[in-house]
Chains A and B, each alone.
Chain A
Amino acid sequence: MLELKKDASLIEEIRQHEAPEYFTQCFRCGACSGICPVEKVAQDFDPRVIVHALLLGLKEKLLADDTIWKCSGCGSCIPVCPMDVKPMEVIKALKALVAEKDPEFALEMRFKAGRLARVNPEKCIACLTCVRDCPFSAPAIVPDGYAVIDPEKCRACGICVVECPARAIELNPSPEMAASLGGQDV
């Protein structure tokens, strides 16, 4: 039988990371899951399950897994929740906790989930296209002569990926993108 390690300290830790005030009030109605667009396309993603797992203290599962990184941050779940849990904010706080403990791992997870674009310095020709066309001014050319994307600013829109003439920018398909492309190559 699957044994789940519980750790109640998680709730306290999350409070330190700007978790919304009433997140412990969730009564698992599932309104958030019903509206969440990512829940429709990513089998293992469900905001209700994430909030529930947090309240149960399933720390290891929540923090080490790639699931929470699939949230697109669209915020659809916030207005529908009758208990004002703000699942999106809860997930954001969980991510902040991971990022504080292991920033590299957090970036890797974001990249894996298709929520962050990354430049391959070996291929970048420093042409400035991404610097000039990113709507969020995320890429910049570093003194070594290649582009680096600021994770704080990147919203994984994919514009730079399409425009980069050297095909140097990598962005995994997000769950929504993967679903809309069906079986096609991405």
Chain B
Amino acid sequence: MIIAERKPIERILQMIEPYQKIAVLGCRGCVAICSAGGDREVETLASALRLARKKQGKPLETIEETYVRQCDPEYLKPLAELKEKVEAVVSLACGVGVNLCADLYPDLKIYPGVDTTFYGANPALGEWEEKCRGCGDCIIDLTGGICPIARCAKNLLNGPCGGSQNGKCEINPDTPCVWQEVYDRLKARGELDRLTKIWPAKNWIPAGYGGPRRRVRPDLQINNKKA
């Protein structure tokens, strides 16, 4: 899922400085699951902002809402009404949600309340780890299911580099060297010979060449009710 992190409260206070009444808008998708922008964080951010503004002597009024998702226009319909009640909206959705809100409601003053950081897994409560960069041309069939692009500090496709020490990455002794992991995994699978073959150069075009990426399924578009 998409992982995000709440922006420092000072930053958010700067963004909403001119306003007296704002909405804090959460999302029950990825950001809720990763504890950055669901109902609970909406509640805590809204009260933190009110407190901070009260201290500054410029009281702030907040409306707290959380939508099912902010990356589908259907779920953003109630925003048409909400935006009339406030001067600005702080969205705790990932950047996708904030962008879509901005696309759909050009007159809306919308601000991001989180930094969208990576695609990650949630191995345990309160921990998230990057696993994929969405490069668009997945090569982990070659590496035992482990991604060197997302998990190697140098994004090497022919690691490990000289900085691999006792299975750890030189940039941080807590970070496993992903190339050591790839090696161990392939060895256990009896597939070490993969590493002696020359891989074709990776195709980076799907990683973002030509502007924003789009995916289209014409078979699904046929029944699209959206005008």
Contacts and interface: CB of A to CB of B under 8 A. Distances in A.
Real binding pair: yes
A167 B35 contact: no
A129 interface: yes
Contact of B124 (A123, A125, A132, A165): A132
State the majority secondary structure of interface residues on A.
loop
Contacts, number: 37
A164 B43 CA distance: 12
B33 A167 contact: no
Contacts of A167: 38-40, 43
A133 B125 contact: yes
A127 B154 CA distance: 32
Interface in B124-154: 124-125
Contacts of B39: 123, 165-167
A167 B33 CA distance: 12
A167 B125 CA distance: 17
A128 interface: yes
Category for how many chain B residues contact A: 10 to 19
A165 B43 contact: no
Contact of A125 (B32, B41, B43): B32
Q: How large is the interface on A (under 10, 10 to 19, 20 to 34, 35 or more residues)?
A: 10 to 19
Interface in A129-186: 129, 132-133, 163-167
A165 B40 contact: yes
B185 interface: no
Nearest to A162: B40
B125 A165 contact: no
B125 A125 contact: no
Contacts of B117: none
Contacts of A133: 125
Contacts of A125: 28-29, 32-33, 38
A80 B122 CA distance: 49
Interface of B: 28-29, 32-33, 35, 38-41, 43, 66, 122, 124-125
